[in-house]
Structure 1
Amino acid sequence: MTKVRYEVDFAKYQSEVELINARNSVEVGLYFIVELLIRGTLSEEYNVINVSSRRKWSGDDYPRYISGAGFPDLLILHKDKPDPCATVEVKYLPFKNDLGETIDEQEQLKEHIKKFNTVVYTNCLEWRIYHKEIANSITVKLGRYHTEEIEWFDASIGKD
């Protein structure tokens, strides 16, 4: 089976995020680039699905995809397992420099971690990966929102 390639280099990623910021300034506008980036890192055994539109849906698998805080934005699934192995929560960037800092966001994180164990939390400038508890996280900062513009950090950091 031929794998569909999902590849985004940093320059393309920056361009997409800046376009979304300039022309489609809503959270849902970021879903595609986040999904594309995550798909590009996964092996063929995994898939990403957008479940954000299921908020008013109540199918048979409804309980499998919802936490105490509601539906996440995206789910990462293994093709041989019925339950999601991770969830992705996207926040719109200009208003979310302090990612996960509000009480509502903390509660959302806690509930998603309790249900799914692993949560990827991003505003496209900062990526946080939580596993089993809020204190157990990895953070990658690609840039920050500064006076209505995105200030990107040096993409060469950490490269040989």
Structure 2
Amino acid sequence: MLFGKLISPRYHLRIWKLKFEKEKIKEGLRLRSIKFIEFHDNSYDAELKVDSLLASAVNEKYVYLMKFDDGNLLVISKKPLTKEGILKQDAYLVRDETTLKKLILSQSSKKAQILMEFQPFIVWFPIAVILVYLSKRISTLEFLLAFGGYFVIRKLLRILEYYILGYCRE
């Protein structure tokens, strides 16, 4: 309840690895009048294509990066899409357009994906050090952390990630 009130994302990003044929997906998106662009991981104009799609979006908050063997589709819509046939799904709550663009473009290289996975640890590490220090000083804090702190801390860390990094996993 509190988590939903503190985090009000501008975008919901889903990264899907699909086993379908890309042409069938594109035809279905055209029939539903959903905006999309096609780009390849190693193309030079990927950033421009992402910018143009986001600039043309008005009140659309669901963004999907659909990965295929022969390229990617970036889809933006007002309503969530269905989830059948997805091999792997990553979901993010994204605060603003620049963070969304950074997340989308980071999916194009393995090095960038690894760096994006380690960014939350930058937020978590100082908090863990402070909690360990305080638990040695205050014995009741250790007791509270043992019984319910995990769930509270997990939510707090997600809120901190959202406000510091601009995104968090759903």
Is TM (by shorter chain) over 0.5? no
- TM-score tier (shorter): under 0.3
Greater RCO between the two (CA within 8 Å, min separation 6)?
2
Greater gyration radius = 2
TM-score, normalised via structure 1 length:
0.26
Name whichever structure is richer in helix by fraction.
Answer: 2
TM-score, normalised via structure 2 length:
0.25
